[in-house]
Structure 1
């Protein structure tokens, strides 16, 4: 799976380099990274900001926190696997990344279940 991601990144990078050449823009690799990642980030922000704003309005801040933690965990798990590959201390395996993220999903479910039970108990005592 990592090979597939690397292949997609390679092909995308090659595409943008060929576009740069065909338009004779003479942009350096760093300038292309600046433009492409900047535009990608703004594009993501245009989608994510309204979504998070809606969630905050609906008092779903737990979902905002969950998405933030999930995003950070994706970065951390990839960093761990890349670190293992680089240092030869383990095998770089996409399934390890998936296992870690599934662990987060499972523990999140348990956490939300405990919170729901606590809220249910609180509401029962408030009624009495």
Structure 2
């Protein structure tokens, strides 16, 4: 089991180094915290969308369960990345990175929830008008 965990930590450390190299290579020079914000936000949304799809198959209102699941996964993932950075010396192990990563996830989730809410509102308004027309025709 320890070899499995060791390989996961090495894998995440390599990915972290690769992202930092791409960031610097492309001339962006974003800070470690800004990259945590962006990358963890994107990963969090991937987890939310996957969980949302799975839970939608299981019940009527899956977004809350998907958020709770994704939030839990993101906490574990951000802490494991920080522990890996501290263990392998690929970055500074800081609580601010965890907060930045979780902030990115929450930011992307709020944007998703707002866009989804607007689409549902428009859909329900259009659908409601269609239902009123059908009732008048009867």
TM range (shorter): 0.5 to 0.7
Task: Kindly name which structure, 1 or 2, has the bigger radius of gyration based on alpha carbons.
Answer: 1
Per-residue CA deviation, residues 79-123 of structure 1 (Å, 9 max, x unaligned), is: 100100011010000110011101111111100000011001111
- Structure 1: 5+ residue runs without aligned partners? 1-55
**CA distance in structure 2 between the aligned counterparts of 1:125 and 1:119, rounded to whole angstroms:** 10
Q: Does 1:85 align with 2:81?
A: no
Alignment map for 1:1-12 (pairs within 5 Å): none
CA RMSD for the aligned pairs? 1.6
- SS at 2:90 equivalent: coil
**CA distance in structure 2 between the aligned counterparts of 1:123 and 1:68, rounded to whole angstroms:** 27
Which structure has more relative contact order (CA 8 Å, sep 6+)? It is 2
What's the TM-score once normalised by structure 1's chain length? 0.52
- Structure 2: 5+ residue runs without aligned partners? 1-57, 131-138
**CA distance in structure 1 between the aligned counterparts of 2:104 and 2:83, rounded to whole angstroms:** 20
> Runs of 4+ in structure 1 displaced over 3 angstroms?
none
